[in-house]
Structure 1
Amino acid sequence: MNDQITLQAALNGGRMHPTVPHTPEELAVEARAAVDAGATSLHLHPYDEDGRETLAPEPCAAALHVVRSACPGIPISLSTSADIEPDPEQRYELIASWTELPDLVTANQGEKGIHELCELLNERDIGIEAGLLSLEDALIFVASDIASQCVRAMVEPLDSNPDDAVVHAEAIEKTLDEAGISLEQVHHGDGIASWAVNRRAVARGHAIRTGLEDTTVLPDGRPASGNGELIDVAVSMLAENKP
């Protein structure tokens, strides 16, 4: 088991919830609440003035600046998802133009142009969280031999059924283990299934992620008040599994 288990708060994304933050100021409030609850890392998606997720340098810099001021010393990860910018060349150019750099980014390994993007990220000294959304992504990741350039692997099955998500997470983990990839693993899922994935991961000594990007509900299905409450539950889960 890791000496210090990462607990990452994924603050926003495209999910609908009354407290999902979009502006830098809203992100700072939710980030502070998550850190106060016990988050040791933050993941966020900047938005532009039209309310759309963006990789443009100005909104990214603004979000990073305000959140860093609110949560000094906490590592911040941005998304590079093709859902934000599907054109791999345009995505590359936008990230190459960033003026304020995050500590980390997620780089989904099944996306077109991701290996070229990872080269850029390494050149810019930005840590890579390898996004493994499926078993196929894990196999691509293993075959690419890019693990040595990454900080951690994000095991993130998207199955809506909790049992299916747990089986999928297990298959991704097994693929990494059999390939001898010893990166820190951060596990999470989607919706209510995220809690089942978290629970299995904690029992196996892995890091976990939660937040309004991943789920808007608590393990019993009740709506969460915000990122702080979701992190509270994750902290309790980690505490229950301490040796």
Structure 2
Amino acid sequence: MTNVRADDESEANMSQPFLQAALNGDREHPAAPRSPEAIAREAAGAVAAGARSVHLHPYDRDDRQSLDAAVCAATLRVVRAACPGVPISLTTSADVESDPRRRLEQVAAWTEWPDLVTANQGEEGIVELCELLISHGVGIEAGLLGWRDAELFVASGLASRCVRVMVEPLDADPDDAVAHAERIERIVADAGITLEQVHHGDGIASWAVNARAVDRGHGIRTGLEDTPVLPDGRLAAGNADLVAAAAAMLAAH
């Protein structure tokens, strides 16, 4: 299958608000998928509920997050078969591989490339990693987990070659998270960066960040990587449950 590459994916998103499902990570939840087959099932359910892209963390046979080439390729193939034509974003987080040189080596060894990656801009070695991925036609979602990350991103000069900015404040308090998202957004805007923005937070605060983003015309992200609960605080059954709630938020606007 031909990948949905960065230019095509970005152009397709111009006409409607973007909604991405972040299917898994290190969060504990009964429905958090880890095997390729489970990830594919959750991806298909999220897409049916309204997600236009899926973001995921591959897991190896020892139940550990992995950037290994074989593990990533196997997961990508199964998810692509379950969600044909849907852009797939992989993690490159230092939480998976903390050694920047080792991470670069692992990604360079990939045999099947995702459509996108989320690349957290505050991590050591991230510019070199982005350069490698861009050379393979992979779209960069620039992850800004805080205002310092936003300043580093502005200084890096990468913006013109990225697909979008992911505004991702990790504050537990909803008001703090919203204020942090506003500060990140202001830094990006003041630098003249006009990339599409996708906003989310962590836990229950994610919904407050989502709501502000929708009001401002930005895209949003949700899923079990970001939050295990619905806007009213109830435990979500799975990714489709969370995506349906986010889609309803978008539809209301």
**Which TM-score bucket, shorter chain as reference?**
over 0.9
**What's the secondary structure of 1:208's corresponding residue?**
strand
Contact 1:2 1:206 in 2 (8 A): no
User: 1:221 corresponds to which residue?
Assistant: 233
Contact 1:2 1:205 in 2 (8 A): no
Alpha-carbon separation, structure 2, partners of 1:120 and 1:57: 15
Render the CA deviation track for 1:197-235: whole Å, top value 9, x for unaligned. Answer: 000000100000000000000111110000000000001
Q: 1:122 aligns with which of 109, 113, 134?
A: 134
- Report the CA distance between 1:2 and its aligned residue: 4.9
User: 2:80 corresponds to which residue?
Assistant: 68
Q: 2:211 aligns with which of 174, 178, 199?
A: 199
1:20-99 to 2 correspondences below 5 Å: 20-99=32-111
Alpha-carbon separation, structure 2, partners of 1:122 and 1:210: 25
Alpha-carbon separation, structure 2, partners of 1:219 and 1:59: 34
User: 1:234 corresponds to which residue?
Assistant: 246
TM-score (norm 2): 0.94
Residue 60 of structure 1 aligns with an amino acid whose one-letter code is C
Residue 103 of structure 2 aligns with an amino acid whose one-letter code is R
User: 2:17 corresponds to which residue?
Assistant: 5
Q: 1:173 aligns with which of 160, 163, 185?
A: 185
**What's the secondary structure of 2:95's corresponding residue?**
coil
Residue 80 of structure 2 aligns with an amino acid whose one-letter code is R
**What's the secondary structure of 1:131's corresponding residue?**
strand
1:148-167 to 2 correspondences below 5 Å: 148-167=160-179
**What's the secondary structure of 2:54's corresponding residue?**
strand
TM-score (norm 1): 0.98
Contact 1:10 1:44 in 2 (8 A): yes
Q: Moved runs in structure 1, 4+ residues, more than 3 A?
A: none
Render the CA deviation track for 1:33-90: whole Å, top value 9, x for unaligned. Answer: 0000000000000000000000000110011000000000000000000000000000
% identical aligned pairs: 66
- Report the CA distance between 1:135 and its aligned residue: 0.2
Alpha-carbon separation, structure 1, partners of 2:232 and 2:82: 31
Residue 199 of structure 1 aligns with an amino acid whose one-letter code is A
User: 1:135 corresponds to which residue?
Assistant: 147
Give unpaired runs (5+ residues) of structure 2. 1-12
